[in-house]
């Protein structure tokens, strides 16, 4: 893995190439050692999608599956996201999907057991932030959707509660239209199938507001 033997921890900002493209950023991020998470992670999981995407979705950090595959939202939470996007008529290939932290933070795992996701620390979120800012500077989305409390609080402020503030557009300098909703993994954590169904419905409703906005903007263009 590139850079794995170096003892020098360069800040992320020193790695970001000037006038970067998404492939250039991805290549640079593969060498990132801006915090300690790279030491236990398999690889950097950079954002995925078109530089022309109108919508950017931001999650927390890659999970077990994403860490192995190197793609954001490739695991169970990604499947919930894909179903919800499809229901509102948004094609995943038309959105850019990324995370506030680009390495998997995990603990435990006896041999052959699943590694347990741990929430990233504020220092790790801050160290990783220049990558997200660089992605947003290239994509310049019309709509930014924060998936879950970690992304919402990192990008919109500690006061944000996804349960209370979900599904409404809020003022932000990050994009013309910014919204937070729950993380798709919260749908999976529902205690029973009736709750899961209801939570999925609410998640889809939040995404529908974005689909409607895109449609209005297309009609007005
Ligand atoms: N959860 C996230 O927040 N991001 C991923 O990429 C996968 C799961």
Domain boundaries defined on the chain? 33-220
Per-residue pLDDT of the chain (221 residues; tens, 9 = 90+): 444 445 567 788 889 988 899 999 999 999 999 999 999 999 999 999 999 999 999 999 999 999 999 999 999 999 999 999 999 999 999 999 999 999 999 997 776 777 889 999 999 999 999 999 999 999 999 999 999 999 999 999 999 999 999 999 999 999 999 999 999 999 999 999 999 999 999 999 999 999 999 999 999 98
3-state secondary structure of 102: coil
Cβ–ligand 1 distance for 61 under 6 Å, the answer yes
Q: From ligand 1's centre to the CA of 221, what distance in Å? A: 33
What span, in angstroms and rounded, lies between the C-alpha atoms of 97 and 58? 6
Cβ–ligand 1 distance for 124 under 6 Å, the answer no
Pocket test for ligand 1, best of 75, 104, 149, 180 (most atoms within 8 A of CB): 75
CATH number given to 33-220: 3.40.470.10
Residues 6 or more apart whose CB falls under 8 angstroms from that of 126 comprise: none
């Amino acid at each position: 893995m590139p850079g794995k033997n170096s003892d020098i921890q360069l800040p992320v900002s020193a790695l970001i190439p000037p006038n970067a493209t998404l492939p250039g950023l991805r290549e640079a991020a593969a060498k990132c050692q801006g915090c300690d998470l790279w030491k236990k992670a398999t690889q950097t999981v950079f954002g995925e999608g078109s530089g022309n995407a109108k919508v950017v979705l931001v999650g927390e950090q890659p999970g077990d599956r994403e860490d192995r595959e190197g793609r954001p939202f490739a695991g169970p939470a990604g499947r919930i996201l894909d179903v919800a996007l499809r229901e509102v008529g948004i094609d995943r290939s038309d959105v850019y999907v990324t995370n506030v932290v680009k390495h998997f933070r995990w603990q435990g795992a006896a041999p052959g057991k699943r590694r347990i996701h741990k929430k990233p620390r504020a220092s790790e979120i801050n160290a990783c932030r220049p990558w997200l800012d660089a992605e947003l500077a290239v994509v310049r989305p019309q709509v930014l959707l924060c998936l879950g409390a970690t992304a919402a609080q990192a990008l919109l402020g500690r006061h944000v509660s996804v349960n209370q503030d979900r599904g409404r557009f809020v003022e932000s300098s990050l994009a013309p239209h910014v919204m937070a909703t729950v993380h798709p993994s919260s749908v999976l954590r529902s205690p029973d199938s009736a709750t899961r169904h209801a939570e999925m419905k609410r998640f889809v409703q939040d995404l529908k507001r974005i689909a409607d906005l895109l449609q209005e903007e297309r009609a007005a263009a």
